[in-house]
Homo-oligomer: A and B are copies of this chain.
């Protein structure tokens, strides 16, 4: 088995990949500890997303985020975090532009990554189109451009993850590049929530060339699904989640913005992941109830930076 990585890949509950010590133990905790990263995806995507996410970090329980560099508002994040030197912030590798009326293109020159540019001149709307059109070289070039752009606006990335999971969809080489870049920048790389959701099922070929025995696996990734939004509502979903958190390391992914005119326009015609959904996330993760649930359940908050430093 070709050894592509000696560093980190965080994978949800692939039980066949046995580990001698649990991840919690490797991080210096007991295997009974409930360890949690409360992670807000999509900062940089919009002004509304930026100010709501920063507020939920400063005044709520969110303790990690990751940035979408190709979007018009990513530069604002560099300004907003100037007084937050220890901030846990990764690069949310973005290969798609899923919105109907709010657009962005790759950061790399379009002529150098033509496979990432759709017929409208912006990124494709879905991962399948990316997989169909973008070569592994193009994806690696764009991923690198996004990491470099983040560094240029003053971010010290603590991890990589993948918007809509597109890195894991279709071509095994995307994953290899993702892990390679994470190693190069000395940070962990996370697997995307869509796999957890079953929304996107990764190609079975995805990990065949990876040295899985040497990869670090996240025990669980948790995220609200459209069904949980529709049937339970956010507060009930997260309450149940925090009351039943399993021992080990969980990454709780959310999407925090305000239900305002900008976010409503960006998410136009979306029945989920929209402005109201993001406001509900903001409301819960800035509530006293969330804080109380963390205390009552003896949940220990950890960060990607901690994982990166301890497992380097």
Contact = CB atoms under 8 A, between A and B. Distances in A.
A166 to B, nearest CB: 20
A47 interface: yes
A152 B120 contact: yes
A237 interface: no
- Report the contact-size class of chain A (Cβ under 8 Å from the partner): 20 to 34
Interface stretch (A20-28, A98-106, A302-310): A98-106
A260 B261 CA distance: 9
A101 B121 CA distance: 23
A106 B101 CA distance: 18
A75 B101 contact: yes
A194 interface: no
A254 interface: no
Contacts of A107: 121
Interface stretch (A3-11, A66-74, A175-183, A220-228): A66-74
Interface in A254-290: 258, 260-262, 265-266
A96 to B, nearest CB: 15
Contacts of A108: 110
Contact of A262 (B74, B79, B101, B261): B261
A101 B104 CA distance: 15
Interface in A58-109: 71-76, 79, 100-105, 107-109
Nearest to A73: B102
A52 to B, nearest CB: 11
Residue among A73, A76, A101, A103 facing the most chain B CB atoms (10 A cut-off): A101
Nearest to A265: B47
B120 A101 contact: no
Interface of A: 47-48, 51, 71-76, 79, 100-105, 107-112, 120-122, 149, 152-153, 258, 260-262, 265-266
